[in-house]
Structure 1
Amino acid sequence: YRPSNFILDDLSLKYIIEKIDSNKYIKHVSETLDYYFHISIGKIVILIIILFIFMVINKKILPFLTKLFNKKLSKEIKTLNISILDIIPDSFRITMSLVVYLFAIQVSLLLLIEDPILINKLTPWFNTTYLALFSFMFYRILTNYINESSDKIFNQYPNMRKEMVDFILRIIKILILIFVVLFLLVQLGFDIKAIIASLGIGGIAVALAAKDTLTNFFGSLNIITDNSFSQGDWIKAGNVEGTVVDIRMRTTRIRTFDNGMITIPNAELANLAILNWSKRVIGRRIMMTINITYSSKMSDIENLVVDIREMLQEHQNIATARLNIDKKPYLLKKEDLIGIKNNLLVYIDKYASSSVDILVYCFSRSPDWEDWLETKQDVIIQISKLVEKNNCEFAFPTQTLYLENQQA
């Protein structure tokens, strides 16, 4: 018994095939083909027509619908300044083409195969493939939407973490895969309740076999919830130093400063001491020692110290005590929590072997490396001018030899 089929029955294709095969000019050829190859002229004609229709749909109708879709919906997301075609990935067109061709293959097989048992066996695989294609397309559209509108979203919600969003997307991807597999099992007639019940026993074996994977997964949860670092942070973990590319479910990838990629298991990374250079809002340290010759007068050196301190206090790119910092009471010191340093120290430090040393210790406003270099360069230039202004000279390592003239 073959169940009612929309393709053969509702569209009356079987009737059309019989009418074509009954034509007196091709009846003999059709019977011969059907006897030897189990296919008739009528079926061949209908298959060619079906393939032609689906090719027209793929080449002409789909592009037209895509343009129309974009035109109608572009106004609804105008606030994001992105087009619907930016959200819908390139794979959307490929996915829809695959759906069209898959449907054409299904229709063709329904025409060619007369065995109802075989048709019933193939139907679940077709249904599952449709679900998989549409689920994949939904995931890609969601991912592209987040990627295209990420700047606006993260600016609007600054506390939202990129790695958390990426982690959730990976979870969604796994859930979609599990859903598709379960759907296939249901289509094939398996008892899902029995399978889920058996996972209680099989889960123990899987957990033992995937011990390292589970350890790394929980390590990634620890990293994300602890907020030790985020994507884009400059960190140092053990012997590894660089910029965090992403935090995945099993590993974290770090791009080193010589442009190498290092992948570290999350279980190992979660147990390392993390030095995070990006967890600072204001203040990147500038520390230098200025060597002044012993031939310079101490009064001039004292004046030089005062001038350097005043110069740094007035410098627009140096963090000073005049910064407007929220002084409300917190359980934790806010400056240390968010990373604010504004110490400014300029003092005569010590008598060195060939110089009087002045310690300069301060912080640039911007923690950015390039801004820090520019600020440091300007400070060095200003100090050089002040040294000259105060009649002092820079010292360099020297030795003085006294030769005793011994008379014979």
Structure 2
Amino acid sequence: MRLNTFVIAGALVLAGCSSGGSPRAGGTTPPPAGSPPASPAASVARLGTPRDLVTGLSVPWAIAFLPGGDALVTERDTARLLRVTPKGKLSTVGTVPGVSPAGEGGLLGVAVSPSYARDHWVFVYYSASSDNRIARFQYREGQGIGGVQTLVKGIPRGQIHNGGRLAFGPDHFLYASTGETGRGGLAQDRSSLGGKILRMTLDGRPAPGNPYGTLVYSYGHRNVQGLAWDSRGRMFATEFGQDRFDEINRILPGHNYGWPVVEGFGGDRKRYTPPLLTWRTSEASPSGLAYDHGSLWAGALAGRRLWQVPVNANGTVGRPVPHFEGRYGRLRAVVTAPDGSLWVSTSNRDGRGTPAKGDDRILVVPVS
């Protein structure tokens, strides 16, 4: 049996493969002194049998829920914004204007205002012809996309590493992940918006308390693809490595996460914040990230599985558990639905996958 290799806070851990919803624990090497113990698989949440919610989509990149339980879904290459009900009814809201899909760029993140019932704002992250942008528009049921306001422009764009995740934090500020477009030096340049996590108000201004008085919240990132907060308000992010290590990081304001100087663990810890855990890139390429039932859930593109990462009370993480390995192909978006289930999108029509009948799809995965 092939073994999955990952590192938690510097300790080498081996976990047996899992092709279904029942995790199997593997052996562990003794962690160094002071390292957090790996959480046993028996103590973490369990997944039920996934079901198809909608099929026949084209690279569904992001999912965000409206207050009534319906979700807005972006399609990267068509620039369509879709609306999906919990019963699987699909409708098209409209096509976001100004989107220029190419490579990994296109219509990417979507987020719904925390005060949507009052202001009706919906936010999108998209690739224009020369840059990546964050915009907003007001949306009401039965209406299309109109009156789009650009909030942030000048985010570097490229064929690769465009970032693109949008999410509102517990503080009700909007967070956005950006990539360094393959130009690693941008990640260390605090004057550039590339290779960063940004934090802003609903009108796109730097949020109060940002560490540098700009939009930049953290830096030294290669290509962050997932953002999530646990029940205590701690922030986590998934990040693509290059050839060796993908990461989950605990995000703190003003911290430098090391790229391109450091990939994975290593380097000067006084300057560069190490990850919570790493995987080999073939096992992860982690994209969407959600927190539910005491665990982080990360969709893996190259790894073609859903990773479950238990979060300990002190903010460290336990032993990752793989689910559905190879069953659904490349997994992109992962979000927690209002009923506590996970909605997970496939990304098999993105030019790097092998589409199956019905792809791309959104799966509903029960969690208990």
Superposition TM-score tier, normalisation by shorter sequence: under 0.3
TM-score, scaled to structure 1? 0.17
TM-score, scaled to structure 2? 0.18
Greater CA radius of gyration, 1 or 2?
Answer: 1
| Structure with the higher strand share, 1 or 2 | 2
Which structure has more relative contact order (CA 8 Å, sep 6+)? It is 2
| Structure with the higher helix share, 1 or 2 | 1
